[in-house]
């Protein structure tokens, strides 16, 4: 793009001045002499240039300040601004030179101006101050030399051009810097997002590895315990039967002639007490064994050793409702349960396992209410669907989880509850189940305010690599 601009405006009330300027700035090429024309025809010579060094300018005339302003405005509208203006100092009856220049600069601040005057009574300091002239105003004293006018025109149009060029370069430089800055900012944001994502993945990986190794251990322990527990359980049952038989036998002996001797022995051995105590010992043993069996079962679930269950399409809300029903009284004493169900499509899942997750979360929420005096707790269950995933949340306004405890809550056997109330398996089991469903479980908690657990599950199970192997 060329910024060449040789357009000049002359504002002067004297027509003769316009003639002079035109001669100086726009000299006509001299008519070719007959001799020159012949030479050109014969030898193809270029005719000599007009006055040496005189570049040709495009000169416009205005005879009053107002007219000058109109011309400048029109030139701007047409996208052909003037590079400079010569302005006469005194131009009755209209604006004088200074006022004219003020208006011209108001319209186009880039305009280079030469003020022409024959009078030396002007206070130039005053003029420069009033006009904010900076470096755009020169003074030309009349009477002037032709060469002065031509040099001024030459220098100031060149200056206009260079100033424009510099401004353009600065603009494009600024744009380039802006663009670069923007790209850097974007790159920075992307980097930060990636770092956050990586940290998140790392944390998940650590958690997964931890649980996987604990899972293996759990599976081993469960397997080892399962057998002995099985025969202890069945033996206790058999033993109970045997003992009943023995007691019956004793009763029968007491009816025989040796009864007196037997009665003495009976007193000595406190058989009456024993008869009372044996059944309760048996009951407690069975209960204890039952508990151990349940823990073993939980451990097996946690480590996925029993993969017997079927994947089915299930309504999430149905599962939640039935789980809440089972919990019934345990919940009702502790808290109000509020359901805020959204629209959720059927999800493909192992429904009884998913119910177990719901149960663990809701029971934990109820436990978190602790002792609140007469203030009842509130548990909100929300559901929803987004981007091919279903989610549900269990929110309580209970104790909240201290940040020291938070990293450990998914660890197996981690519990803050008294012995007998919690085994610390609920969340680790839930974590395992959600993993198996290719979902995520997250927690958000604040001490004194409450806790929200959120489980997100894909609506459809994605085939795992093992399942994709063709039969």
Ligand X SMILES: Nc1ncnc2c1ncn2[C@@H]1O[C@H](COP(=O)(O)OP(=O)(O)OP(=O)(O)O)[C@@H](O)[C@H]1O
Residues that bind Mg ion (CB under 5 A): 364, 426
Task: Please name the residue that has the structure tokens 């806790």.
Answer: 451
Residue whose CB is nearest to ligand X in the complex, by number: 426
**Residue numbers at the binding site for ligand X (CB under 6 A):** 360, 364-365, 368, 396, 398-399, 401, 405, 409, 414-417, 422-428, 451
Tell the smallest beta-carbon distance from residue 323 to ligand X (Å): 14
Question: Could you tell which of Mg ion, ligand X, none binds residue 128, using a CB distance below 5 to 8 A set by kind?
Answer: none
Identify the helix (H) or strand (E) that includes residue 279: helix 271-302
Residue 324: both structure tokens together? 């809440």
Are 366 and 385 in contact by the 8 Å Cβ rule? The answer is: no
**Considering beta carbons, is residue 154 or 415 the nearer one to ligand X?**
415
Q: Could you tell which of Mg ion, ligand X, none binds residue 247, using a CB distance below 5 to 8 A set by kind?
A: none
Residue 303 contact among ligand X, Mg ion, none, beta carbon within 5 to 8 Å by kind: none
Residue closer to ligand X by CB (options 427, 457) is 427
Three-class SS state of 247: helix
Closest to Mg ion by CB, 355 or 364: 364
- What are the tokens at 167? 């401004």
Question: Which partner from the list Mg ion, ligand X, none does 423 bind, CB cut-off 5 to 8 Å by kind?
Answer: ligand X
| Residue 393 interacting partner from Mg ion, ligand X, none (CB closer than 5 to 8 Å by kind) | none
Q: CB–CB of 11/91 below 8 Å?
A: yes
The CB-of-377 to ligand X minimum distance in angstroms stands at 10
Query: Exposed, middle or buried: residue 437 (CB in 10 Å: 0-12, 13-18, 19+)?
Result: buried
Size of the chain in residues: 471
Whether the CB-CB separation of 397 and 450 falls below 8 Å is answered with yes
Cβ 450 vs Cβ 396: under 8 Å? yes
Shortest Cβ distance from residue 427 to ligand X (Å)?
Answer: 3
- Least Å distance, CB 418 to ligand X, is 10
Shortest reach from residue 230's CB to ligand X, in Å: 23
Whose Cβ is closer to ligand X: residue 316's or residue 427's?
Answer: 427
User: What would the DSSP string read from start to end of 193-215?
Assistant: HHHHHHHHHHHHHHHHHHHHHHH
Which of 398/426 has CB closer to Mg ion?
426
Closest approach of Cβ 421 to ligand X, in Å? 7
For helices 15-25 and 146-254, the axis angle rounded to 10 degrees is 80
d(CA 427, CA 348): 21
| Residue number, 25 or 401, with CB nearest to ligand X | 401
């Amino acid at each position: 793009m060329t910024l060449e601009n040789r357009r000049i405006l002359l504002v002067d009330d004297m027509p003769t001045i316009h003639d002079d300027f035109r001669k100086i700035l726009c000299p006509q090429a001299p008519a070719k002499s007959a001799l020159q024309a012949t030479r050109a025809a014969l030898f193809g010579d270029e005719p000599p240039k007009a006055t040496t060094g005189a570049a040709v300018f495009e000169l416009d005339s205005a005879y009053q300040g107002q007219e000058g302003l109109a011309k400048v405005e029109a030139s701007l509208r047409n996208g052909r601004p003037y590079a400079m203006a010569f302005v006469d100092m005194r131009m009755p009856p209209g604006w004088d030179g200074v006022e004219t220049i003020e208006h011209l600069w108001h319209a186009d601040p880039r305009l280079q101006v030469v003020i022409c005057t024959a009078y030396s009574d002007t206070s130039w300091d005053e003029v420069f101050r009033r006009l904010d002239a900076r470096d755009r105003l020169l003074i030309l004293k009349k009477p002037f030399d032709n060469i002065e006018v031509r040099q001024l025109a030459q220098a100031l149009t060149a200056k206009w051009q260079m100033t424009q060029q510099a401004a353009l370069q600065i603009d494009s430089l600024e744009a380039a810097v802006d663009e670069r800055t923007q790209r850097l900012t974007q790159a920075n944001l992307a980097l930060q997002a990636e770092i956050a994502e990586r940290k998140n993945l790392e944390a998940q990986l650590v958690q997964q590895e931890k649980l996987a190794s604990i899972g293996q251990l759990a599976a081993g322990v469960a397997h080892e315990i399962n057998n002995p527990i099985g025969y202890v359980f069945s033996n206790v049952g058999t033993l109970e039967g045997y003992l009943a038989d023995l007691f019956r036998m004793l009763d029968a002996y007491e009816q025989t002639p040796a009864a007196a001797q037997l009665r003495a022995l009976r007193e000595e051995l406190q058989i009456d007490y024993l008869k009372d105590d044996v059944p309760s010992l048996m009951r407690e043993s069975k209960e204890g064994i039952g508990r151990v069996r349940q823990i073993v079962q939980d451990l097996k679930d946690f480590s996925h050793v029993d993969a017997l269950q079927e994947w089915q399409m299930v309504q999430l809300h149905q599962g939640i409702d039935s789980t809440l029903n089972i919990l019934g009284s345990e919940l009702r004493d502790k808290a109000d349960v509020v359901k805020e169900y959204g629209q959720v499509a059927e999800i493909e899942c192992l429904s009884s396992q998913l119910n177990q997750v719901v149960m663990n979360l809701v029971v934990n929420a109820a436990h978190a209410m602790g002792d609140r005096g007469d203030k009842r707790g509130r548990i909100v269950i929300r559901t929803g669907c987004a981007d091919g995933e279903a989610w549900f949340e269990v929110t309580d306004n209970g104790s909240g989880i201290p940040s020291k405890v938070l990293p450990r809550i998914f660890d197996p056997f981690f519990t803050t509850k008294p012995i007998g109330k919690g085994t610390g398996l609920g969340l680790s089991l839930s974590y395992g189940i959600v993993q198996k469903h290719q979902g995520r479980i997250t927690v958000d908690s604040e001490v004194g305010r409450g806790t929200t657990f959120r489980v997100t599950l894909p609506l459809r199970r994605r085939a795992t690599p093992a399942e994709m192997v063709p039969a």
